[in-house]
């Protein structure tokens, strides 16, 4: 996907149209979904729907503008012989 944006970076108007359609589809979806903008540094999340918020338990302000990796749970050490999960 990143290649697609880099290859056609000169046509931002088309990308913006696709982006607005995608946002509308995500908001209408009953499946948890997010979208990230690969044109921006660190690929921040630009849209999420209510189902994603309900599934993850994160507030919308904790999702939008951040990279999806920031949503990952911290590594847990359960004291099982040095294994981490």
Mean pLDDT over the full length of the chain: 79
Chain segment 10-33, per-residue pLDDT in tens? 566 666 777 888 889 999 999 999
Q: Any bridge partners for residue 62, and if so which? A: none
pLDDT reported for residue 85: 47
Please report, for the domain that includes residue 36, its CATH number: 3.30.450.20
Position 60 in a domain: yes
Position 76 in a domain: no
Position 80 in a domain: no
Position 47 in a domain: yes
What residue numbers bound the domain in which 43 lies? Answer: 2-70
Position 78 in a domain: no
When divided into structural domains, the chain yields a total of 1
Question: What is the pLDDT averaged over residues 38-45?
Answer: 88
Q: Can you give the pTM of this predicted structure?
A: 0.67
Position 77 in a domain: no
């Amino acid at each position: 996907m990143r290649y697609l944006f880099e290859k056609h970076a000169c046509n931002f108007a088309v990308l913006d149209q696709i982006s607005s359609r995608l946002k509308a589809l995500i908001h209408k979806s009953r499946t948890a979904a997010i979208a990230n903008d690969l044109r921006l540094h660190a690929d921040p999340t630009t849209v999420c729907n209510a189902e994603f918020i309900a599934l993850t338990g994160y507030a919308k302000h904790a999702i939008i503008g951040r990279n999806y990796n920031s949503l990952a749970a911290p590594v847990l050490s359960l004291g099982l012989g040095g294994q981490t999960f």
